[in-house]
Amino acid sequence: MSLRYRRLIRLLVATILTMTALPAPSRATERSEVPVALTWDLTSLFASDDAWTAARKDLEARVPTLARFKGHLGDSPDTLYAALILQSNLRRSLERLSTYASQLADQDQRVARHIEMRQASQQLQVQMGTVASYIQPELLALGEAKLRALIVNQKRFDPYRPGLDDVLRYAPHTNSAAEERIAAQAGRMAGAGFTVRGLLNNAEMQWPTVTLPSGKSVTLDDAAYTSFRQSADRADRDSVFHAFFRQHQRFQGTYGAALDAAVQAHIFDRDVHSFKTCLEQAMYGDNIPTTVYTHLLQDVHENLPTLHRYLKLRQRMMGLSDLRYEDLYAPIVSKVDLRFTPEQAMEIVLDTVKPLGQSYVDTLKHGFASRWIDWLPSTGKASGAYSTGAYGVHPYQLQNFTGRYDEVSTLAHESGHSMHTYLSDSHQPYPTHGYATFVAEVASTLNENLLFHRMLDKTTDKQTRLYLLGSYLDNLRTTLFRQTLFAEFELKIHDMAEHGESLSGEALSREYLKLVRQYYGHDAGVCKVDDLYGVEWSYIPHFYYDFYVYQYATSIIASTALAKGVREDASSGGKSTAHRDAYLNMLQSGSSKYPVDLLKGAGVDMTTSAPFLAAMKEMNSVMDEMEKLLR
- Alpha-carbon gap, residue 261 to 196, rounded angstroms: 10
Task: Give the residue from 218, 125, 245, 179 showing the smallest Cα distance to 533.
Answer: 245
**Cα gap 244→247, rounded to integer Å:** 5
Give 425-444 pLDDT, tens digit per residue: 999 999 999 999 899 989 99
Q: How many CB atoms lie within 10 A of CB 297?
A: 16
CATH 1.20.140.10 describes domain 46-190 = no
pLDDT at 16: 26
pLDDT for residue 5? 32
DSSP 482: I
Nearest-5° Cα angle at 402, 400 to 405: 105
Report the C-alpha gap between 414 and 302 in whole angstroms. Answer: 31
C-alpha span between 422 and 11 (Å, rounded): 16
Query: How many secondary structure helices (H) and strands (E) does the chain include?
Result: 26, 5
Pairing assessment for the beta strands 209-211 and 217-219 based on DSSP bridges: antiparallel
Domain ranges of the chain: 46-190, 219-339+443-631
* Confidence at residue 334, expressed as pLDDT on a 0 to 100 scale: 73
Gyration radius from the chain CA atoms: 24
Q: Give 189's pLDDT tier (boundaries 50, 70, 90).
A: confident
The second-level CATH assignment, the architecture, of 219-339+443-631 is Orthogonal Bundle (1.10)
Coil, strand or helix at 34: coil
pLDDT, tens digit (0-9, with 9 covering 90-100), for 158-168: 999 999 998 89
User: What's the whole-number average pLDDT of the chain?
Assistant: 91
368: left (phi over 0), alpha (psi -120 to 50) or beta: alpha
Cβ count near 334 (within 10 Å): 14
Cβ atoms of 230 and 467 within 8 Å: the answer is no
pLDDT grade for 28, boundaries at 50, 70 and 90: low
Residues sharing a CB contact under 8 Å with residue 543, sequence separation 6 or more, in sequence order: 259, 262, 486, 489, 490, 493, 537, 549
Q: How many residues does the chain have?
A: 631
Phi and psi dihedrals of 398, rounded to 5?
-105, 125
pLDDT tens, position by position, 379-416: 899 888 999 999 999 999 999 999 988 899 999 999 99
What is the number of other CB atoms lying within 10 angstroms of the CB of residue 277? 16
- Annotate 38-56 with DSSP letters as a single string: GS--GGGT-SSHHHHHHHH
List the catalytic residue out of 138, 180, 326, 414. Answer: 414
> Which of 122, 116, 125 shows the shortest CA–CA distance to 90?
125
Q: pTM of the full predicted structure?
A: 0.80
Our measurement of the distance from residue 614's CA atom to the centroid of its chain's CA atoms, rounded to an integer in Å, reads: 23
CA–CA dist 523, 559 (Å, integer): 33
Per-residue pLDDT, 124? 94
Higher pLDDT, 337 or 76: 76
pLDDT single digits (tens) 273-299 = 999 999 999 999 899 999 999 999 999
| pLDDT at residue 524, as a whole number | 97
Using one digit for the tens of pLDDT, what is the confidence trace for 568-608? 999 988 888 999 999 999 999 999 999 999 999 999 999 99
414 catalytic? Reply is yes
SS3 230: coil
Separation between Cα atoms, residue 216 and residue 280, nearest integer Å: 49
End-to-end CA separation in angstroms for the chain: 52
- Distance, in Å, from the CA atom of 423 to the CA atom of 440, rounded to the nearest integer, reads 12
